Structure 1
Amino acid sequence: MGDLTEVRRVYGTGDLAALPVFAGGFINFGYWAGIPLDGDLTVEQRVASQEALYDLVVDALGIGPGHRVLEVGSGRGLGARRVLRRDPALVRGVDLVPEQVARAREVNDDPRVAFVQGACDDLPFPDASFDALLSVEAAQHFEDVAGFARESARVLVPGGRFAVTTFFTRTRDAGDALAEVLRTFATGLDRAHLVDDVVRDLRAAGFADVTALSIGEHVWRGLDRWLELGPRPDRWDRNWLRAVERGLVDYYLVTARKPAGSGV
């Protein structure tokens, strides 16, 4: 993960989801396609943007009845509720922060769902346990993306699907510049992972059909508009759009498939 002390402070004792910028218990920047940005924004629209980001990932995975699904970086467990709308056989969530695991267990009572503490590069599940794996706005914290890729391939069945959405850097030297304009990079909470390296690590782990699609056009301006108009006692940083316009970072949907003939 990112700096572990900072991760624990922000997500554990600090409970990032309680900040008005995130609203509704989700912790993501949102997917704002179809939400008008030329007027006021409501809390309901903010929550809808966060749900839409999950739905985008779930759609990319083709999750449906009977599937076994793993979410890495499951937070408060609200994403699991979105996945359950597709009638999977089971959903498992893994998160490094024990407080988040406890919160997720409190709000989910569906017998198909369970949450455990664990690391992205040491997933506490047997080989070939899942048909689909997702991670929504968590991989920017991962210290070992290559290890995450290998573990994801291990726990997926042959033919299993993988999808991650979050922000990655566009150039290898973006880290220092991001640390100058965004506090989360300066503190080590977020890590400057180059999107090309993420793609390389997935291919090295044995994944096929690896794609990295920029979806920033439906993320950044909606987020910035919410920060401009919405409740902001937390003073969340508005420099994200500035960093995007400088070509330092963008938001991606990264998808891949474990080849059918690849064994467990």
Structure 2
Amino acid sequence: MKTPADIITRLQLMSQDGTKSDRRLAGLVLTDLDFASKAAISEIAARVGVSEPTVTRFCRNLGCEGLRDFKFYLAQAIAIGGQYLSPEPLNRDAREQRIASAITEAAIAAIQRASENLDMKTLVGVAARIVSSGNVLCIGSGGISSMMATEMQNRLFRLGVPVLAQIDGQLQRMYAAVATSETTLIAFSVSGYARSVIDAVQVAQQYGATTIAVTPPESALAKAADTVIQFQSLEDGNIYKPTSSRYALLSIIDMIVTSVAETRGPRVLENLRRIKQSVNTLKVDDPKLPLGD
């Protein structure tokens, strides 16, 4: 029997397109997850007004072997994503009047936490390694980490650093396979367990590359990399708000890049001037605008 990959989605679909009894059972489960995960088959059947064999057929229609198997997948789904299934009602006043402060305060707090926990000696050492590298490969997988890899590339190229970002898992491994002792690989992972990123780090090390990870300490990626800039994501529980960890990681990138720029010194200025000159010909000629758009 095929294992249900997402029991909640199957329940949602069945509540709309299933048989009459299946729709009623799916509706019960979705509206009372706690009851459905703990109740006996007789209690579920009685609550909906169907027979016990109907409950068993319902479970099998979902791809489960029976009620026990169904409860296992339901409990797994609740453990992983339960907070999104029964969220607290939105506070209207907070939603309409305090969104800006909620975002800015969380961003500031995340940046401050990251700064307080940083080992600046390690960070400055990473910047020095980047400056002396023949080429830099930045990698990350997933939403935040892939964005950070791309942002690191965006910041380093303008300083004259040969840099490339890869967010595709197979390409990460392929580029790692052509690394040399002159390569510095910078890996981002908020969890520290992105498999493609860990694999790329290990492959690059085989060919003499220096590997640096921005990731939680004691994670699999931290253990694989040569040098670790420790970063621990800490969220505030507001499931409606995008994660504030992005701002903390961006601040770490800015610290690294600033140190790289200062280490390279006046050599970076000509590149910055050329970029400013080139971009300003395409838009309003305002020297106060930042590089790029």
Whose radius of gyration is greater, 1 or 2?
Answer: 2
Provide the TM-score with structure 1 as the length reference.
Answer: 0.35
Decide which structure has greater helix share: 2
Provide the TM-score with structure 2 as the length reference.
Answer: 0.32
Decide which structure has greater strand share: 1
